Structure 1
C-alpha cells in the first residue's frame, strides 16, 4: 500500500457518488470504478473523478492500485463482494445492510476480524458534531439516568404507489425495507450516543400501498413502508421508534430525544446545526461550531463556524476520513465496523420476527460472533 490509501468504488448510483466525494474530500485517490456494465463504469469514472473504469467488480478488487474497496451496490450483492475483498486482503467499506441475513453478516464479521483488515459500515449519523457533543455530555453524567429513549426517522421518497426502486423487492433489498434501510441508522445512533443496547423489541410493520406500479403494471409488495416498535435496553430504559419512507414532506428527518432524570438531549438531522438540551428550569439550543461546543468529540468534527450547518455529506466525509486513518494504523473513536453491521442485522431479524409473530423478541448480542455463527447454523439444521 502507498502512504495514501487508494479507493476502488463498486456501484455507480447515488451512494457511489457520495462515497466518491468523501474519498476526494479526504485527499485520497479513486483508482477505479466498477458497475453493472463497462459503459456505466466509464460514465461514473468521469463523474466520480476516478482514474479508470474496471471491467468488473472482481477485476476492481484484484487491482494492485486499490487498497480500500467501497461496496455501493444493491443489498443482496454485499456479502459476496465483501468476502472477495477480504480474501484479497483489502480494507472494505460496505454500505448497509452489511448483508441480508444474520449468517452472512456474522460470517463477514468473523472473516474481517480474522484477516485483520479494516472493515467499516457507513453509520454516518455518528459523525454529526451535535451527536458527538450529546454523546460526550451523556457519558459525563449530565443527563442523569437515561430512562426514556424515543424518536423517529421519516422520509417521503416512496410517497406514491408509482414510486419504486430495487429496494422494494425483498430478493434484492432483504426482508425489511424501511427499518432495514433507515431504522437501523436510528438504532445505531441511539446505542452509540447513549451507551445503551436494545435487548427486546415489539414491532409492527405496515404498508401505505399493498401494490406498487413497476413497468406499467401493479405488483404486490412484500416489504414494509413503515414500522413502529417498542424496545427495552440493557440499562433499564424503555423506548419507541417510528420509521417511514412514505411521510409526505419529511425528506430525511432523523429525530431523537434521549431523556434522563436531569436533562434531555434532542437532535433533528434536517436541522443539524443545533443540539437541544432540556432541563426543568430551562432549555437551550446550542449552535454547532468549534467555539460553541464544549466536548472534545463535538469540537473534533465541527469544522465550520456556528451558523454554517454541516450536513449529510460532511458527516460522510468525516466517516471516510476516519476509515482511511484506520487503514493507516490510527484508531479513531467511534468508527462503525462490520460488528456494527452485524448488530443491525440482528435488530432487523428481531423486528421481522416480532412483526410476523406479534410478540416480544430478544435481540442477540455481538460479543462472540463465532458462537453466534454456531448457534445460527444449529438453528438452521433443526428447521
Structure 2
C-alpha cells in the first residue's frame, strides 16, 4: 500500500448550498457568500476560525487574490494564512492538503457557477465573448449560434471519446443512456434540482444530436449556483456539534493527454484511471465496500469512464454492468446490486456546479441528513470529479457508524 499519512485525519464539518436556477439574477460573490455563510453556520464555528480559503469555478469569484479578498471581506474574516485557486475536483483536494500540512487549520472551499446567457450571443454584442474569441483554448467561435454547444471548453473532444469508446469495445450507447436516466431519476426526487422531469431510455435515444454520437441528454445543465464546504482536522471535528465525515483517502491524477485536446492515449491511460489507481493504493477499503458512488457527469462519457476506472467493471463493460445493475422500479442503478450512483442528480439533473454538489451530497448522505432521499446506512462514498484532460480527483469519504 502507498503511504497515506492523512488517512482519516481530516474531516468535512460544514456544507452550504444556494438555490439552483437557470437565471437567478445574482452575482457570483452573492452566491459564494450565501453558500459560505451556510457552510460556516452548519459547522457551528465562528467565522474567525476560518484561516484558509480555496475558490473555484468556470468563472469563479474573480479568480485570484482579488476574488478571495472580496469573499473574505464580505464574510468579515480578519486573517487567513492560505489561499489557492482550484477547479473541479482539485479545489477540495488542495484544501485538504493545506489543512493536513498545517498551512491552515480550518479551510473554506467555495465554488460558484453562472449560466451566463451572454455566452450564446455574438462577440460584437458580448465583451466576454470577444475576450473568449481572443484567448479561448479551442476557438472563440464554438457555440456562438447554438447554446447547446455552450462551452469554450466544448463537448467536441468528449464526443470523440464517446465514438472511440463505442468503436474500440464494439458497444452501443446503452451505458451513456442508462447513466443519463439514472441521474435524472435521482434529480426528480431532489427538490434542489433544476431538471426534475424523469426521462426514459427512449427519451434519451430520441434527444437531439449535438456532436454525433453525443446527444443533448449526455450534457450537463448550466445553472447559477454556489456550494461551500468546511474542512478541518479530525481532532478539531470531534469538538464540533456536527457529525464529521472523514477523508479516508484521496488522489489527483494526470497524464500527458493534458498536453492536447487530441485523444492520443488509450482508454485506460487517461487521468481518471491514474486518479483512481492512486486512491485505491492508499485506501483500506475496496470497491465492494462502497455504499455511494458519485462519478462526475459533465458529459455521460465522464461518468462511464469513472465507473470503469474505479473498478466496478472491466474497460468497455459499463453497458453490461449497468444493464444487470438496473432497478426498473425506480429507473436507477444499483451497481453490483448495492452501490447507488449520483443520488442528487449530478450535473445532468441538479445542475452544473463543477463537481462541488457531488461532495455536498455525499457529505449530507453520510451524515444522514437527506430526509426522504436518505440512503439508509450509508457509511462510505467515492467521489470522482474532473475531466479526461485536467483536474481529475478521487476522494473516498467515510463515517463512523
Higher RCO (CA-CA < 8 Å; seq separation 6+): 2
For normalisation by structure 1, the TM-score amounts to: 0.29
For normalisation by structure 2, the TM-score amounts to: 0.28
